[in-house]
Every structure is written in C-alpha cells, then in structure tokens.
Amino acid sequence: MFPRAIIISIVAFKLFDCAEFHSEYQALEVTRHTPLTDKMSLHYFELPKLPTSVDTENGMELWLALFNAETEEELAKLEVM
C-alpha cells in the first residue's frame, strides 16, 4: 500500500470559474484522459467564495474561516463557534 500525496492550496482570490469554494483535481494523461494514479490529488480552496455565514456544523468551513479572518474580532467570533 502506497501513501497518498495530497496538495492543498488556499488562495485569497477567485481562481476557477465556478461557484464552489473547493475544487479537487487529479493528474490525467493528455490524450486518453486516464488517471496517472489514485494516490495523488490537488485541492484548491478559494477564500472569496466562502459563504458569508459559516455553518458551525461544517468543519471545513470553520477551518477555512480562520484563514479568511482579517480582524481580532472575527477570530474571537470564530473561537466562540
């Protein structure tokens, strides 16, 4: 069994033309579109696309909101959540 390689990029700008804040990619062969491996994935999180009100039940949204916080007040609000 081989370990997985996971690359996580958190960007503070809109990178992809979609509404979702999380996109996952895998490397594909250019002509046949077959996956290189199932042991590697690239995850992109676009902070500007996060919902304005964070779902307290969604750990990923809470985690990303920490990166997106700009003031001590925002951090304190997240700490309460």
For the chain, the structural domain boundaries read 1-49, 53-81
57 token code pair: 């039940």
What pLDDT score does 77 carry? 87
* pLDDT category of residue 61 using cuts at 50, 70 and 90: very high
* pLDDT category of residue 66 using cuts at 50, 70 and 90: very high
Would you say residue 1 has pLDDT above 80? no
What's the predicted TM-score (pTM) here? 0.84
Calpha distance 14→21 (Å, rounded): 9
Residues 6+ apart with CB under 8 A from 61: 50, 51, 54, 55
* pLDDT category of residue 78 using cuts at 50, 70 and 90: confident
Mean pLDDT of the region 56-73: 92
